[in-house]
Copies of this chain bind each other. A is one copy, B any other.
């Protein structure tokens, strides 16, 4: 699977359960969210615009995806924190077709656009590495089945790992926003 196929398989509506292990505090924080992922063509105006922001030639974009989420985490003071939207655009390396830069409009944890690195593994898992000013994030996403997408992430701050997270994402079907997770599982 290449990253375009991974994006295509990700398109749709997902119900996500997320747990973060705060390692220093030995505490777990749970959250839930609804996620919608839409494919964007390589020549979509949003893809072209994002490339221009990063000063990347738009013709190098493989495709794009718009990701929209709306959720809650237990410890949130500001419940709006986990509502948002971003555009992702993979720009493959010229010499390595299965890895490259991942442009993103704006993620949950950052205030300014940051490009990450992506690698599609031979096991069809997608690894994303993003280095922020004071933080390092490593995510691994894979499909346990076409309707169950899993994501782990580890966060490093000030040189040490501070958090490990798991998201279990269950596909809710297209055009069936009222479909219950119980119906989707077993997945």
Contact = CB atoms under 8 A, between A and B. Distances in A.
Nearest to A187: B161
Give how many copies assemble into the complex.
2
A115 to B, nearest CB: 22
B21 A26 contact: no
Interface size class of A (residues with CB under 8 A): 35 or more
B19 A26 contact: no
A1 interface: no
Interface of A: 15, 17, 19, 21, 23-26, 28, 30, 32, 121, 123, 138, 144-145, 148, 150, 152, 154, 156-162, 164-166, 168, 170, 181-182, 185-187
The list of the 5 closest CB pairs from A to B, nearest first, reads A160-B186, A166-B166, A24-B185, A19-B19, A164-B168
